[in-house]
Amino acid sequence: MNVHRMPGLDARDPLGFLAALGVLRTLSHGDRSARLHWERDGSYVAVVTTSLSSVIDALWEDVERSRQGDPAIDFALDADRKEQDLKHPPDAFRKLMRSLVNVPEAAQFVAAYATGVVVDGSGQTKPTSFHMTAGQQRFMDVIIDLRDKVTRRDLEEALDGPWIGRDDVKDPRWRAGSERLRALLSFDPSKTKAAVAAGAAWLAFRALPLFPVVPRGTSAVTTGFTGRGRSEQFTWPVWSIPLLESEARVVLGLGELERMTRGERSRRGIVAVLRSSVQRSSQGYGNFTASIPV
């Protein structure tokens, strides 16, 4: 087995945490024994253990396969704007779900997009809490842009750091503190493009099936999220014991992580529980705040 340390993927940043999970999911397609954990080194550095000789090769091959055809993404290529933004009429979303019943990998993504049951105030499908785009930035349009433009070098930057980013790709807005507040800057941020860590963003998208959306009463609840509106928060565990994808899915689904005693966390290999609030503008754009331990 080969151990690969990925210093660019810091679990303290939601984007780094999600990207590490995306690495795990991708490697698991070719190596069911692939495992992920974090090492404490001033930060929480992601480490994968795998029988595959090259992590980057496996990640890049996944990009190339997706470009050749990926029903979890391609449904949006010729869709209308609402469907590109995961705000289907409920019947249309359920039709999409049924069409992928025999394509398990794609079905897992769609189950992480929405439920097909819960609707918003206008009767549209209520999407995942990871939906942080608004206006001209439609969720699947961002993902398609990432898939089309991400490079092998972007993936290497994501894993090795530091994240320099690019200003020619669209941003799913999952990086902590990515919102550029006019009052805190010496320039007008609306006149410049923010740098996007394209490799990390793509890998984070590949982790979404670990965060399915489920109905709870009249609400759509995304795994890891609590609260609604301005009180919404994302809470995630950091573990030191190498876990398979299936085992990581169980840990991610644990409820009330913040209430566990130190002993309860230790028995599960959890060394930290982190939380970011979700800030949403009046236009609907969202972003994560810097994480805090809970």
160-177: pLDDT as tens digits: 999 999 999 999 999 998
Structural domains of the chain, count: 1
pLDDT one-digit tens code per residue, 29-45 = 999 999 999 999 889 99
89 band by pLDDT with thresholds 50, 70 and 90:
very high
pLDDT on residue 136: 84
Question: What is the average pLDDT across 53-78?
Answer: 97
Q: Which residue has the tokens 């997706």?
A: 66
Q: Using 50, 70 and 90 to split pLDDT, how confident is the model at 189?
A: low
Which range marks the domain in which residue 212 is found?
2-293
H-run or E-run covering 293: strand 292-293
Could you give the CA distance from residue 86 to residue 158 in angstroms, rounded to a whole number? 27
Angle subtended at Cα 155 by Cα 154 and Cα 160, rounded to the nearest 5 degrees: 100
Tell me the pLDDT of the chain averaged across its residues. 93
Summarize the confidence of residues 271-290 as an average pLDDT. Answer: 92
Summarised one tens digit per residue, pLDDT across range 118-147 is 998 889 999 999 999 988 889 999 999 999
Q: What is the pLDDT of residues 192-248, one digit of tens each?
A: 578 999 999 999 999 999 999 999 988 999 999 999 877 899 999 999 999 999 999
Q: Which of 18-27, 66-75, 185-194, 269-278 has the lowest mean pLDDT?
A: 185-194
pLDDT exceeds 50 at position 186? no
Rounded Cα–Cα distance for residues 36 and 38 (Å): 7
Q: How many CB atoms lie within 10 A of CB 73?
A: 18
- Average pLDDT, stretch 152-166? 98
The beta strands (E) that lie in the chain are given as 2-10, 35-40, 44-50, 114-119, 125-127, 213-216, 219-222, 225-226, 233-239, 270-280, 286-288, 292-293
**The predicted structure's pLDDT at residue 126:** 94
Residue 184 clears pLDDT 50, i.e. is over it: no
Tokens 């024994």 -> residue: 33
Q: Report, in this order, helix, strand and coil percent for the chain, each rounded to 5.
A: 40, 25, 35
Determine how many CB atoms are found less than 10 A away from the CB of residue 82. Answer: 15
Count other C-beta atoms under 10 Å from residue 147's C-beta: 16
